[in-house]
Amino acid sequence: MTPSKPVPAYLGEVEKRTKRDPSRTKRGKTQWPQTIVTLTAILALVVFALWGGLNPVLLAASIMVAAMPLLLAALGEMVVEKSGVLNLGVEGMMIIGAIAGFAIAVETGSPLLGLVAAAVAGAALSLIFGVLTQVLLANQVATGLALTLFGLGLSALIGQPYSGIKPPAFPRLNIPFLSDLPVIGPILLNHDLLMYITFALLALTWWFLYRARHGLILRSVGENHDAAHALGYNVIVIRLMAIAFGGACAGLGGAALSLIRVPQWTEGMTAGAGWIALAIVVFGAWRPGRVALGAFLFGGVTVLQLNLQAAGLTPLWLLVLGLLLFAVNSTAKSLAESTPAHTRAMIPLWIATLIMGMIATTYPISIQTQYLSMTPYLCTIVVLVVMSADRLRANLNAPASLGRTFHRTG
């Protein structure tokens, strides 16, 4: 039996001891390995592109355009999820935005009015979801799925007369001198207005979430809606506003597809972009900068799978790339956290990458293009699997009330 020490019941004493291990919960600590993996992926794709004789500057510019719809939709969904709502209807809101934007742009001849219409249509559709889930307390997952089906069907109906038409072109915003700069000019400063709006939205979202009081309130609602309610915040109104913002962003993303990226209207033209946007939010760990990075990565994959076929890249190289990413991931993790599992896996992974690379150079097997078209979707699945495998980290940034129904009592 240990005699008790006559420690006075003094604050500091007890406090020091009841503290949990702070290193475990510190934010951002384990995030750099993931950033390195992402950068490696981008770098590898650039190397492939150069090797295949593609113009990297033009390629980068087209990646920007391909990433724009994803970035818009993902950014909106991120804000929605930050408020604690899981809206799986991104695909439906995007395609409604795509047709609404397209139709209004064609009818009025003004692409700008088209953008406004797309945002309004997306927000309107999202508010159906908002009223159902927030006011009538419907299940969020089921309602979100229904919203996607509804959006796809409704857009097909509205879009019937519009297939095969060319929309009015956006005026290209060329900034004198700056747009003529080599490399940077064509990549960053020679785009449509919507691209600049997208970047402004990205910056604004970051500022709102992490610098503005209302952003703090929004995050608090997503973190613990009961506590936010107890402090006197109107959880339902805040969530409805976040949902409407997410819908407007998804609508804009859809318009970016139908008015800029493609540009024309075809039924079901989003082809899963909304689902990829949802994956990007998870990939980006609910942080604006990383969500943007994810959007460019996925946009890059989409563009490259088209170009790389032309450049004569065999699918075996994609396996090499996959292995390379796993190897880089293990190395970065074993350096960052000295996790024994990663250290053990590191060397076999590098060897496998090398062997696979040699096989790929010796046997240039070609493959049907349909399989290459799968790559963006395969990447989505792989990313979701990898992210979900590490539950601890995935949960750290995820809003704690995500997907939970708020039921006001008392």
Least gap, CB of 307 to another protein (angstroms): 40
The CA distance from 37 to 327, in Å, is: 9
Does position 341 interact with another protein (CB under 8 A)? The reply is no
Does position 212 interact with another protein (CB under 8 A)? The reply is no
Least gap, CB of 249 to another protein (angstroms): 23
Question: Please, where are the H alpha helices in 182-314?
Answer: 184-188, 193-211, 213-223, 225-230, 235-255, 273-283, 288-310
Number of Cβ within 10 Å of residue 57's Cβ equals 14
Nearer Cβ to another protein (98/209)? 209
Q: Which of residues 143-202 bind another protein (CB under 8 A)?
A: none
Beta-sheet pairing, 190-192 with 172-174:
antiparallel
Least gap, CB of 284 to another protein (angstroms): 16
Does position 224 interact with another protein (CB under 8 A)? The reply is yes
Nearer Cβ to another protein (23/362)? 23
Least gap, CB of 225 to another protein (angstroms): 10
Beta bridge partners of 174: 190
3-class SS of residue 85: coil
* Listed residue (103, 72, 104) closest to 90, CA to CA: 72
Binding another protein (rule: CB under 8 A), the pick from 43, 184, 212, 227 is: 227
Q: Which two tokens stand for residue 86?
A: 């899981």
Least gap, CB of 132 to another protein (angstroms): 22
Q: Which of residues 17-56 bind another protein (CB under 8 A)?
A: 17-22, 24-25, 27
Nearer Cβ to another protein (128/218)? 218
Least gap, CB of 56 to another protein (angstroms): 40
Does position 387 interact with another protein (CB under 8 A)? The reply is no
Residues in contact with another protein, counted by CB under 8 A, come to a total of: 43
Torsion of CA 351, 357, 362, 366, to 10 degrees: 140
Name the DSSP class of 398: S
The CA distance from 197 to 354, in Å, is: 43
DSSP string, 117-144: HHHHHHHHHHHHHHIIIIIS---HHHHH
Does position 15 interact with another protein (CB under 8 A)? The reply is yes
Does position 395 interact with another protein (CB under 8 A)? The reply is yes
Which residues are CB-contacts of 389 (< 8 A; sequence separation ≥ 6)? none
Using CB under 8 A as the criterion, which residues of the chain lie in contact with another protein when the complex forms?
Answer: 1-2, 4-5, 7, 9-15, 17-22, 24-25, 27, 213, 216-217, 219-220, 223-224, 226-228, 230-233, 391-392, 395-397, 399-400, 410
